[in-house]
Amino acid sequence: MNDMIDMKEEQFELDNTPDAENLWKAIGGSFSNISQAISEFVDDSISNFRRNWGKATMVRTVRLTLHACGEKVDITVEDGGTGIRNLANAMTLAGQADKETPLNEHGYGLKHALAYVDAKGSGWEVATRTEEDLKHNRCQVVKSPYAIGKGKLNSVYRTGWWPAHLGPTGTMISVSCSMEMLRTLCPEDNEKQKTFWQLVDILEEDLRYTYANILYNGEAEIELVVSDGKTSRQKKLKPLFPQWETGTLQELPVQKYDLGGGSIQIHCRYGSICTDKNNYSHYIRSMDASGVEIRINGRVIEHGLIKQVWGRSIHNSQNAFLAQIDLQTDSWDALPSTKNAKNGFREEDPRLRKLFRWIRANVQLPPSSRETKEQKLLAQLAEKKRAVPGMTRVAQEEGVFRTIGLNERVDLLTAQGGAVTIFEGKAGQTKTRDVYQMMMYWHGCVQDGIPVAEAVLIGERHTKAVRRLIQHINGMLGPDGRPYCFRAVTWAEEGITA
């Protein structure tokens, strides 16, 4: 207590201004490939178009140019939006003072992307022209190197100069990188290096995929202009959509839902896709490309989600499964947070976990081929049993342990003359643990008062261990004092073929 009375506080000064050069190097590590970085520039342009929707002077086009010269690639990303309203904020790390739509989330994208593409920090420039600048026949330019603090950045008004071609106002980012940086688009390509034009094709596919819904609904256009000194190419990007296998597509009605921060609309469709042979990495029936894809207002954030949603991996035979979820809202709070580089969601966000619950409740995972085979065999067995004279009941997937609030499903249950037989079916060879699974169903029947007389394990073949265990169990008494009566048969013995 006395210590507290004697205590005094005296302020002293600490300067924790970060070293801009070191910071630039550190923030440049946010992405896994150049598509992700370029998408940050595109996001900012689209966000600006959305915010200023309906403005007559605006040209809702993003033009990406790549000019290769030897091992160097000059890149520009230009838009015909309304320009950057607050350039100081735009150049501030975590500058969130002028966010326009939920596509502006963290206040990092522009800086992170520049630092990734131009790690040396020696050759980038951001030029922007607002309506105010237009009146003064000027644009605002800020150029490398990055600096922190009042008046530290290299920023100028340029009069009588506007390098962009799209509209009277807008933004143009220029940055140079090495061909090596472009190769981040195809890192596993160590046998035969891809050419510049092949890398451009991959980048194009990524953009068509990431912004598919936005390109489709006409909110923005993306143009790609590429040259290597000899050839040049200019094209308007078309959205990339999956090709669905006939009859597999399920489209759910749009649902209003609250993930915990206000109402959003969930657009959801799912089914099996065919491989598109023209594609490099998207919609190609591989483990990475299938699963759940989640977009925010049409922009893809994460894909390939299976284990995160259902808690288990899928079998190779399920690689064609794709679920597309698009969350639509104008509200920042209503959406699960994304990672700073917008290449995924933050796993700990409760809104994401609630979304996963929604997906589990609304999206049906396809059965694996193993399950399908088993189901087919069991369906045949059920058919045969139905034809047996005196059979009073044949039920697949019958729940037991219901009296204690569970629903453990028995593969097949038949009743004849008041005696019940349960079947546990396995497509291939059975295992000892299958015998114990049957034991659980036996106990469930006894618990629920179902007069179970026999339990049959049916598979392609049985190991010695399985037969020995069944023999052992048949020498024991069950929970109601009666002996167990287990039997092992094969599909062939029952006259069933796959």
Ligand X SMILES: Nc1ncnc2c1ncn2[C@@H]1O[C@H](COP(=O)(O)OP(=O)(O)OP(=O)(O)O)[C@@H](O)[C@H]1O
Binding residues (CB under 6 A) for ligand X: these are 40, 43-45, 48, 79, 81, 84, 90, 95-96, 98-100, 104-111, 171
Query: To the nearest whole angstrom, how small is the minimum distance from the Cβ of residue 41 to ligand X?
Result: 7
State yes or no: residue 44 binds Mg ion (CB under 5 A). yes
Nearer to ligand X by C-beta: 60 or 385?
A: 60
Nearer to ligand X, 78 or 411 (CB): 78
Nearer to ligand X, 128 or 430 (CB): 128
Shorter beta-carbon distance to ligand X: residue 81 or 459: 81
228 binds, among Mg ion, ligand X, none (CB under 5 to 8 A by kind): none
Least Å distance, CB 40 to Mg ion, is: 5
45 binds, among Mg ion, ligand X, none (CB under 5 to 8 A by kind): ligand X
94-113 positions binding Mg ion, by CB under 5 A: 109
Judged by beta carbon, residue 61 or residue 319, the one nearer ligand X is 61
In whole angstroms, how close is the CB of 324 to Mg ion at the nearest point? 24
Q: How far is the CB of 106 from ligand X (least distance, A)?
A: 3
Burial of 396 (0-12, 13-18, 19+ CB in 10 A): middle
Sign of CA dihedral 275, 278, 283, 287: positive
**Calpha distance 62→51 (Å, rounded):** 15
- Residue 12 has φ and ψ, to the nearest 5°, of -135, 160
Exposure of 37 by Cβ count < 10 A (0-12 exposed, 13-18 middle, 19+ buried)?
A: buried
- Encoded tokens for 360: 């589990």
Identify which of residues 44 and 434 has a Cβ nearer to Mg ion in the complex. Answer: 44
Q: Pick what 79 binds: ligand X, Mg ion, none; C-beta below 5 to 8 Å, kind-dependent.
A: ligand X
Least separation, in Å, of the C-beta of 182 and Mg ion?
22
Long-range contacts of 117-122 (CB under 8 A, 24+ apart): 117/34, 117/37, 117/38, 117/75, 117/175, 117/177, 117/181, 118/144, 118/175, 118/176, 118/177, 119/24, 119/25, 119/28, 121/21, 121/24, 121/25, 121/145, 121/146
3-state secondary structure 137-205: CEEEEEECCCCCCCCCCEEEEEECCCCCCCCCCEEEEEEEEEHHHHHHHCCCCCCCCCCHHHHHHHHHH
Residues 103 and 195 sit within 8 Å (Cβ to Cβ): no
Rank residues 37 and 73 by Cβ distance to Mg ion and give the closer one: 37
Task: Name the one range near Mg ion by CB under 5 A: 40-48, 84-92, 152-160, 459-467.
Answer: 40-48
Binds 434: which of Mg ion, ligand X, none (CB < 5-8 Å by kind): none
- The minimum distance between CB 40 and ligand X, in angstroms, equals 6
Residue type, 319: N
Shortest gap between Cβ of 460 and ligand X (angstroms)? 55
Q: 99 touches which of ligand X, Mg ion, none (CB within 5 to 8 A by kind)? A: ligand X
Out of Mg ion, ligand X, none, what residue 374 binds, judged by CB under 5 to 8 A for its kind, is none
- Token pair listed for 211: 């912004």
Q: Which is nearer to Mg ion, 286 or 337 (CB)?
A: 337
Q: In whole angstroms, how close is the CB of 44 to Mg ion at the nearest point?
A: 4
Contact partner at residue 84 from Mg ion, ligand X, none, CB < 5 to 8 Å by partner kind: ligand X
Q: Go through the chain and tell me how many residues it has.
A: 498
Closer by beta carbon to ligand X, 170 or else 459 = 170
Strand blocks (E) in 211-287: 221-227, 232-236, 243-244, 250-251, 255-258, 263-274
Phi and psi of 193, rounded to 5°? -65, 140
Residue placing its CB nearer to ligand X in the complex, 165 or 402: 165
Task: Name which of 99 and 269 has its Cβ closer to ligand X.
Answer: 99
The CA distance from 159 to 364, in Å, is 60
CB 81 within 8 A of CB 48: yes
Question: Measured from the CB of residue 47, what is the shortest distance to ligand X in angstroms?
Answer: 6
CB atoms within 10 A of CB 301: 19
Q: Which residue is nearest to ligand X (CB)?
A: 109
Nearest-CA neighbor of 266 among 216, 217, 334? 334
Smallest distance from the beta carbon of 78 to ligand X, in angstroms?
A: 9
By a kind-dependent CB cut-off of 5 to 8 A, residue 319 interacts, out of Mg ion, ligand X, none, with none
207 in Cβ contact with 39 (< 8 Å): yes
- With 0-12 / 13-18 / 19 or more C-beta atoms within 10 angstroms meaning exposed / middle / buried, residue 59 is buried
Shortest gap between Cβ of 91 and ligand X (angstroms)? Answer: 8
Site membership for Mg ion, residue 221 (CB under 5 A): no
How many other C-beta atoms are found inside a 10 Å radius of the C-beta of residue 84?
24
Q: Using the minimum distance from each CB to Mg ion, give the nearer residue, 106 or 183.
A: 106
Long-range contacts: 94-100, Cβ < 8 Å, 24+?
99/332, 100/47, 100/48, 100/50, 100/51
* Residue 282 Cβ vs ligand X, minimum distance, rounded to whole Å: 23
Contact positions toward Mg ion, by CB under 5 A? 43-44, 109
